[in-house]
Amino acid sequence: MSNTTWNRHHVLSLADFITAEYDAVLQTAASFQEVLSRRTKKVPTLQGQVVANLFFEPSTRTRSSFEIAAKRLSADTLNFAAATSSMTKGETILDTAKTYLAMGTDIMVIRHREAGVPNAIAQEMDRLGVKVSVLNAGDGQHEHPSQALLDLFTICTLLDPAQPRIELLKGKKIAIVGDILHSRVARSNIWSFIASGAQLHLAAPPTLLPKLFTEYLSEEKDIQNNQLFLHWQLEPALQDADFVMTLRLQKERMTAHLLPSLREYHQLFGITRAKLQLCKPNVKVLHPGPVNRGVEISSDLMDDPEFSLIQSQVTSGVAVRMALLYLLGSGKSY
Amino acid sequence: MSNTTWNRHHVLSLADFITAEYDAVLQTAASFQEVLSRRTKKVPTLQGQVVANLFFEPSTRTRSSFEIAAKRLSADTLNFAAATSSMTKGETILDTAKTYLAMGTDIMVIRHREAGVPNAIAQEMDRLGVKVSVLNAGDGQHEHPSQALLDLFTICTLLDPAQPRIELLKGKKIAIVGDILHSRVARSNIWSFIASGAQLHLAAPPTLLPKLFTEYLSEEKDIQNNQLFLHWQLEPALQDADFVMTLRLQKERMTAHLLPSLREYHQLFGITRAKLQLCKPNVKVLHPGPVNRGVEISSDLMDDPEFSLIQSQVTSGVAVRMALLYLLGSGKSY
Amino acid sequence: MSNTTWNRHHVLSLADFITAEYDAVLQTAASFQEVLSRRTKKVPTLQGQVVANLFFEPSTRTRSSFEIAAKRLSADTLNFAAATSSMTKGETILDTAKTYLAMGTDIMVIRHREAGVPNAIAQEMDRLGVKVSVLNAGDGQHEHPSQALLDLFTICTLLDPAQPRIELLKGKKIAIVGDILHSRVARSNIWSFIASGAQLHLAAPPTLLPKLFTEYLSEEKDIQNNQLFLHWQLEPALQDADFVMTLRLQKERMTAHLLPSLREYHQLFGITRAKLQLCKPNVKVLHPGPVNRGVEISSDLMDDPEFSLIQSQVTSGVAVRMALLYLLGSGKSY
């Protein structure tokens, strides 16, 4: 696990990730994947270090994944949940972060309802000249880099289990389907898939596409250099696709009148066995979870290991988060 | 700690437990009881394994007991609490369990408000062909096997500290008093005490007896082969009893008009020093906790170490849960 | 880390702390401070012991500080939060504590909304003849000894990093400013600072001074032997002060009409760079946190490392809590 190509101190966004960094994560995660298949799934790498999960927005899945990743690296973990915190006592978010810094936290894993909070905390840590690392675990509708990296790892590991690397995706057709407008996962995915040289096709009802893309809002548009395509309908995105990523549909969207009904949404954009006929024969389906069965994806397809990578994504999540904690944590000199 | 007689992969119910399995739990728990009396109360048995406490219903006592048991076996623990979970996001319980499976959980300890949930999860795990074990930590009004096993251990250890085994209870008279209708603890207790060859006497107001027993609903009835007796009054159950188990009375029952008043309940079915005169001189009292002092049992009796085994039950709980986690966890081959 | 001068079994209040005890805490904390500067910040001192954080009142800051302290001593930790507990099921606080005792807890760290709860639990433990130690982590408006000890450590370490000891404070002028009436922190601080031989000046609006002091309620009063002075205005307290401790102002106080407005409070009692001109040139400012920026202290002053010891207090907190857990935990003979 050499990390000669890793000089990054925080992981906040994939916007400026370079190939060598993607590959460092993929290769480190691959070696941890091997650790996870052993009987004793622990390594002493981060012994004595403290990973604080500062989740200002509730989460079980991502928080548990980071917690188990940290424990398998032998780090001590602290869980902070906004509900029971001093936040209600009027303390600012930066002050909360600085309190955890002063207690000796080495890595802060931060989720917040508002975009930019992990960035703001990272900037403050740098301004203070301290060595603590910040890892964005989802900020508003901005980014969710560890999710996109585990998606990438899941796909690349399928293509070459021994040597997952980003170039394996070059020329592959990947469809991202669903509520792209509100999805921090999609935003991070777009960065990594474009960087990989894949052809990325986004399919969503016009009400669920980012305003950023408004000028491109005509169907079948190639936005970026034969790499990024927009569709108002599912079919052209699925045509010959190698991978289909469905996104979680937040039911709150309905109340905002962005969608007619879950049933109609499923008919138009839900992934089913029948619709997969349009894709490449070996097509695989991904979903960041939690899934609304029968909405974004049909229930039987979700459970079919021939097509679904959903469970594999969760497992990859632990390996990828171990890799990120390792790359951020072990780089520290004392 | 040989476990040659242990082939069970899940602990969901005591209905089909055989003598050799009860004895495996009792003897393994006895050896852990010894560990717990040392200064360093840890053994490395489950190092690197992950025990996930999936408590869909809130609990402190049972959850803490499992957590401390897991930590003393050097396992890593994950705590899931329904309130802060993806459940609110529409994910099914099986999908939540599969997510924890995919993260690398080895043993799932599950509590749920509805009967049958741990069973359903165990079936799904078996269907998937995975090695994860499921331990029922209380499901609706169905069963609470680890509680009944710790009750059994508490009593058997009293009778023979060095070699607790189920046959020690043969011929003993055990009274279970209180809200049997709603008690998952009582259901599990009935299985283990019948299996032990004890004489089991249930005493409760008719409104708090299971409908299953309706056909037997005449006082002083021997239901099963001179082993299980039903009483509408306390006194015949207490007569010459060796052990008296009181059950927690949920105060909600009152609002459902199943009970006139707590005061009347205590007068009729509350255990007091005076009423214990009916029992054998060495009688002991148990309660699964938390206790409503002055309702199920008088306050001074609860605190009297000559009669009360209540504290001893809590301590036994840790040893028995270590035994269950050990028997489920160490059987795995890798 | 010899603890020949330490015979205390619980830490409930600083009222009867003697010099040797203060110094035992300070010197032990100093040696842990050194541990915390290493790459691997763990020592095996309390391996196999269980520290239960019984927080009947919500807290993140103090709970996290105790949790990290316990983990760095290699203890196992259990977190109890009142919200999800059996308390709602009608169990008494003493019974909850006894349950954790029976599970094998070695040290109970207790916070409760009502004064005296940690004392009551400690008394019950002693009555039972058990070795478990109780540590008061804040009880009502009574005391918060670990906070006062970390304040003491922060100041003494500044005066002599190698050998922090209480006599260093002799003759120093310390001002405590703000809501003294409702502050358990101030109550503990008063005991330790008086014991140190410092000159202690309390400044607060009359509505926020304890009724205990009513008879002394004329300005500029020396209450105790040239050591404790009361002021209704800030300026005489700041005059030539070596240290200024500001207290958190709970905004609820406003609704109780004890204060006109936050703005007026800041004008009269808020600490600013300008007001610090009255103090000694090297004056330092402390605050137990969380801070209402711009109320108790101006925002820029809080962040100025030349004056503010606030971050240093948080770091000291971990070392001091390690010291307390160590002194209570390692004294146990088995």
DSSP string, C112-178: ESSTTHHHHHHHHHHHTT---EEEEEEETTTB-HHHHHHHHHHHHHHH-SSS--GGGGTT-EEEEES
Residue type (1 letter), B307? F
- In this model, does residue B45 exceed pLDDT 70? yes
C149 class by beta-carbon count within 10 Å (0-12 exposed, 13-18 middle, 19+ buried): buried
What local confidence, expressed as pLDDT, does residue B41 receive?
A: 85
What local confidence, expressed as pLDDT, does residue C170 receive?
A: 97
- B78, B90, B99 member nearest A67 (Cβ): B78
Helix/strand/coil percentages in chain A, nearest 5:
45, 15, 40
B251 close contact with C: CB closer than 8 A: yes
Burial A110-141 (b: 16+ CB within 10 A, else e): bbbeebebbbbbbebbeeeeeebbbbbbbbbb
Contact B304, B265 (CB under 8 A): no
What local confidence, expressed as pLDDT, does residue C258 receive?
A: 78
Q: Which residue has the tokens 């927009």?
A: A230
Cα B110 to chain centroid, rounded: 13
A 10 A CB-CB count for B269 gives 24
Rounded Cα–Cα distance for residues A135 and A65 (Å): 13
What local confidence, expressed as pLDDT, does residue A333 receive?
A: 40
**Minimal CA separation from A236 to chain C, in Å:** 50
Which H helix or E strand runs over C301? helix C299-302
Rounded Cα–Cα distance for residues B323 and B34 (Å): 12
Token code pair at residue A333? 């000199």
Task: Quote the DSSP letter at residue B99.
Answer: H
What local confidence, expressed as pLDDT, does residue A219 receive?
A: 47
Q: Where in chain A is the domain with CATH 3.40.50.1370?
A: 19-144+315-329, 145-311
Q: Which residues of A touch B90 (CB under 8 A)?
A: 251, 290, 292
**Minimal CA separation from C268 to chain A, in Å:** 21
β-sheet bridge partners, residue B109: B53, B135
Which stretches of chain C score pLDDT less than 70? Answer: 1-4, 82-90, 211-225, 252-255, 331-334
Share of chain B above pLDDT 90, in %: 74
Contact C106, C332 (CB under 8 A): yes
Q: Which residue has the tokens 């669920």?
A: A208
Token code pair at residue A245? 């990523």
Q: Which residues of C touch B44 (CB under 8 A)?
A: none
Burial A52-84 (b: 16+ CB within 10 A, else e): bbbbbbbbbbbbbbbbbbbbbbbbbbbbbbbeb
For residue A282, give the nearest of A313, A244, A249 by alpha carbon: A244
Rounded Cα–Cα distance for residues A315 and A312 (Å): 5
Rounded Cα–Cα distance for residues B17 and B116 (Å): 17
Q: How far is CA B236 from CA A14, B167, B176, B279, C190, in A?
A: 74, 24, 12, 10, 63
Cα C178 to chain centroid, rounded: 16
For residue C330, give the nearest of C21, C47, C76 by alpha carbon: C47
Q: Which of A39-48, B26-35, B109-118 has the lowest mean pLDDT?
A: A39-48
Contact B330, B31 (CB under 8 A): no
Give the best residue of A32, A60, A287 to mutate against chain B (max B CB count within 10 A).
Answer: A60
What local confidence, expressed as pLDDT, does residue B334 receive?
A: 38
Rounded Cα–Cα distance for residues C66 and B103 (Å): 29
Within 13 Å of residue A134, how many CA atoms lie on the same side as its CB?
28
β-sheet bridge partners, residue A76: A50
**Minimal CA separation from A126 to chain C, in Å:** 15
Closest Cα in chain A to C252: A89
β-sheet bridge partners, residue C175: C201, C244
Tell me: the pLDDT tens digits for C267-321?
A: 999 999 999 999 999 999 999 999 999 999 999 999 999 999 999 999 999 999 9
A 10 A CB-CB count for C310 gives 25
Give the best residue of A53, A76, A79, A101 to mutate against chain C (max C CB count within 10 A).
Answer: A76
What local confidence, expressed as pLDDT, does residue B217 receive?
A: 44
Burial C255-264 (b: 16+ CB within 10 A, else e): eeebbeebee
Rounded Cα–Cα distance for residues A321 and A118 (Å): 17
Token code pair at residue A270? 């839900």
Contact A247, A177 (CB under 8 A): yes
Give the best residue of B54, B56, B79, B89 to mutate against chain A (max A CB count within 10 A).
Answer: B89
Task: Quote the DSSP letter at residue A233.
Answer: S
Interface list for C 62-91 with B (CB within 8 A):
76, 78, 80, 84-86, 89-91
Rounded Cα–Cα distance for residues C98 and A137 (Å): 39
Give the best residue of B60, B66, B79 to mutate against chain C (max C CB count within 10 A).
Answer: B60
Full pLDDT tens readout for chain A, 334 residues: 444 589 999 999 999 999 999 999 999 999 999 988 887 788 999 998 999 999 998 888 899 999 999 999 999 999 887 655 445 566 789 999 999 999 999 999 999 999 999 999 999 999 999 999 999 999 999 999 999 999 999 999 999 999 999 999 999 999 999 999 899 999 999 999 999 999 999 999 988 887 666 554 444 556 666 788 889 899 999 999 999 999 999 776 666 777 778 899 999 999 999 999 999 999 999 999 999 999 999 999 999 999 999 999 999 999 999 999 999 998 554 3
CATH of segment(s) A145-311: 3.40.50.1370
Angle at A72 between CA C329 and CA B97, to 5 degrees: 105
Phi and psi (nearest 5°) for B173?
-100, 120
- In this model, does residue B38 exceed pLDDT 60? yes
What local confidence, expressed as pLDDT, does residue C261 receive?
A: 86
Token code pair at residue C50? 């269980």
Angle at B132 between CA B131 and CA B138, to 5 degrees: 145
Q: Where in chain B is the domain with CATH 3.40.50.1370?
A: 19-143+316-329, 145-314
Contact C64, A80 (CB under 8 A): yes
Yes or no: domain C19-144+315-329 corresponds to CATH 3.40.50.1370: yes
Cα A110 to chain centroid, rounded: 14
What local confidence, expressed as pLDDT, does residue C89 receive?
A: 60
- Helix or strand or coil: residue B192? helix
Q: Which residues of B touch C98 (CB under 8 A)?
A: 311
Q: Where in chain C is the domain with CATH 3.40.50.1370?
A: 19-144+315-329, 145-314
Token code pair at residue A114? 């508002």
C47 close contact with B: CB closer than 8 A: yes
Q: Which residues of B touch A72 (CB under 8 A)?
A: 48, 76
Rounded Cα–Cα distance for residues C240 and C105 (Å): 47
State the virtual CA torsion across B38, B44, B45, B47 in degrees, nearest 10: 140
Cα B69 to chain centroid, rounded: 15
Pairing type for strands A228-231 and A221-224 reads antiparallel
Contact A330, A81 (CB under 8 A): no
Rounded Cα–Cα distance for residues A187 and A14 (Å): 9
Contact A155, A26 (CB under 8 A): no
CB contact under 8 A, B293 and C47: no
For residue B26, give the nearest of B196, B242, B183, B199 by alpha carbon: B196
Rounded Cα–Cα distance for residues C227 and C218 (Å): 16
Q: Can you tell me the mean pLDDT for B157-163? A: 96
Rounded Cα–Cα distance for residues B43 and B37 (Å): 12
Contact A79, A50 (CB under 8 A): no
The CATH number corresponding to C145-314 among 3.40.50.1370, 3.10.300.10, 3.30.565.10, 3.40.50.850 equals: 3.40.50.1370
Closest Cα in chain B to A319: B103
Share of chain B above pLDDT 70, in %: 89
Q: What is the ipTM of this complex?
A: 0.90
Per residue, the 3-state secondary structure of C56-68, as one string, reads: CCCCCHHHHHHHH
Yes or no: domain B19-143+316-329 corresponds to CATH 3.40.228.10: no
Closest Cα in chain A to C81: A84
